[in-house]
Structure 1
């Protein structure tokens, strides 16, 4: 399991860049990101090298920040590789709230961050199916 930072930003020019710049100035490395938006605001979801430092820097710069648990799991980097992972969750009746992918270091592997309604149940299902769940230390090496 990993902790994701969600940054609430106004949907106007330069706000995403400002958040990214804040992290850069604090020496934070972004491992993954996703942006969801509406007409008035957006949510910048990030997996970073140092959550505590990132949260402090963003809040100091006026951003609203929330931390969420996500499961970061590897999937086969091949056609339909993601579906093999999604099937495991579907078969266990676990609802996915959102998902986003990022690049890892290992050949043949892709990485996805998954937010589900029942994190503990999903972890148990993944472990039962021999899925590779990344821990904080694994993510830091990416």
Structure 2
């Protein structure tokens, strides 16, 4: 039920992001979702890719500072309040969301939201108990 996210520390310099995507492309790794948090000097690029283990390996070999993180992907109905309903379940039990980002699936009726929480197993349990569809990594990697 967990999804493996690749995080890359990038100096805020010309060409660094292009080099990451070049390394991934050279190794037939497809980006499924991404998020960038930046400051003046550096940024953290977070990726969901179709081959997370290979992405970690080739980026490390290319000299990047890389880590992996377990995140949760949930299906959210594409309607007003869809995300709010999910967040409410986590809030009720005191699970804090460190960050999240979204991407659209091939169907227009839903989106996927990627969550980073400290208590991954507890969050999965609470969401499943409340009828929220947790999307397994194997499915997310193939979107």
TM-score, reference length from structure 1: 0.96
Quick check: 2:104–2:111 contact (8 Å CA) kept in 1? Answer: yes
Q: Which residue of structure 1 lines up, in the alignment, with residue 4 of structure 2?
A: 3
Shift of 1:103: 1.3
Q: Which residue of structure 2 lines up, in the alignment, with residue 43 of structure 1?
A: 44
Q: How does 1:1-142 map to 2 (within 5 A)?
A: 1-142=2-143
Runs of 5+ in structure 2 lacking a partner? none
Q: Secondary structure at the match of 1:24?
A: helix
Q: What CA deviation, in whole Å up to 9, does each residue of 1:11-44 have, x standing for no partner? A: 1122111111110111001110000011211100
Separation in structure 1 between the aligned mates of residue 91 and residue 62 of structure 2, nearest angstrom: 40
Separation in structure 2 between the aligned mates of residue 55 and residue 98 of structure 1, nearest angstrom: 21
Separation in structure 2 between the aligned mates of residue 141 and residue 53 of structure 1, nearest angstrom: 15
Separation in structure 1 between the aligned mates of residue 123 and residue 141 of structure 2, nearest angstrom: 22
Shift of 1:6: 0.3
Q: What CA deviation, in whole Å up to 9, does each residue of 1:19-70 have, x standing for no partner? A: 1111011100111000001121110000000111111111111101100000
User: Matched residue pairs, number?
Assistant: 142
RMSD: 1.0
Q: What CA deviation, in whole Å up to 9, does each residue of 1:55-109 have, x standing for no partner? A: 1111111101100000000111112211111111111110000000011123311
Q: Secondary structure at the match of 1:6?
A: strand
Runs of 4+ aligned structure 1 residues displaced above 4 Å come to: none
Q: Secondary structure at the match of 2:102?
A: strand
Q: Secondary structure at the match of 2:58?
A: helix
TM-score, reference length from structure 2: 0.95
